[in-house]
Amino acid sequence: MPRKPAKKTPRIDRFDLRPGRRIGPHYEVIQCLGRGIEGEVYQIQETATGIHRAAKLYFPHRNPKNRYTIWYARKITALRHCPIVLQYHHTEYVTVHKQKVLCLISELAEGEQLEGWIARHRGKRLDAFRALHVLYHLVRGLEAVHAVGEYHADVHSQNILIRPAGVGFNIKLVDFYDWGKPTRYKQHQDIMDCIRVFHECLGGVKHYSKQPPEVREICKGLQRKRVLKQFPTMTVLRRHLESFEWKTML
């Protein structure tokens, strides 16, 4: 007799793990932190110690044979000495809709998405001096990533977690993008993305013309050639932020 065709594995577009749901033998779900086209991130708790961590689950159709989970774990492990990068711990399996899904367990970063943090400020934008501080901490963090020959490739306000700390900020970058082998072009893209984040912090195009010349000198109208001519590396940009002379009263 002819064999029956194998049943197709149903596609998972949402995990919807409820609070209290177990992840492996050691963790339980506290809450969902975010959801995107690639997967979902949960705050979880280690049951034996009460320590909170983060669990990232990729949708199986986006992560065949766990390739992306494995790539991401190796990537952030290679960058474990960079303070802006979340610390990887290990992986755990969870069964969802009769499918085994490999979870990436990492440090739980304190803070909120930069996009939402900006929106809570008056006029939904930052003043120039505060925006410069955000840019400086972001640039310093990515400078360490570039120093080991790597890149991020997806720097934007939804992938930046920020927590004010004294006169500065603690910043973490999430969701590195696999754009292939590191190149200078990809590091240049990170520089441009940092400048775009800075521009967004200031209120975007609507408020750009009113910014002081010191700010416009950094943004350069977001013109790639002009920006990269003056700031060809993160180190050059960081040094400029540390040493430029203010001629405008804020």
The number of domains in the chain is 2
Averaged pLDDT score across all residues of the chain: 94
Q: What is the pLDDT of residue 9?
A: 74
pLDDT at 213: 95
Measured between alpha carbons, how far is 87 from 80 in angstroms, rounded to an integer?
6
Pair 130, 228 in one domain: yes
Whether 73 maps to a domain, the answer reads yes
94 in the same domain as 118: no
Domain containing 100 equals 22-107
Cβ contacts of residue 163 below 8 Å, gap of 6+?
Answer: 110, 111, 112, 169, 170, 171
Q: Both 28 and 77 in a single domain?
A: yes
Given 87, 107, 127, the domain boundary residue is 107
pTM: 0.91
- Residue where a domain terminates, one of 107, 127, 160: 107
Instruction: Give the domain CATH number at 101.
Output: 3.30.200.20
pLDDT digits (tens, 9 = 90+) for 59-110: 999 999 999 999 999 999 999 999 999 999 999 999 998 899 999 999 999 8
Amino acid identity of 235?
A: T
Query: Do 172 and 206 fall within a single domain?
Result: yes
Residue 172: what are its φ and ψ, rounded to 5°? -125, 145
Q: Which two tokens stand for residue 211?
A: 């910014």
Residue 80 and residue 140 in one domain? no
Low-confidence ranges of the chain (pLDDT < 50): none
Residue 228 and residue 148 share a domain: yes
Give the Cα separation of 37 and 70 in Å (integer). Answer: 18
pLDDT at position 2: 62
What DSSP designation does 105 have? E
Whether residue 17 lies inside any domain: the answer is: no
Q: Pick from 92, 107, 122: which residue ends a domain?
A: 107
Beta strands in the chain (DSSP E): 22-23, 27-35, 39-46, 52-58, 88-96, 99-107, 112-113, 160-165, 168-173
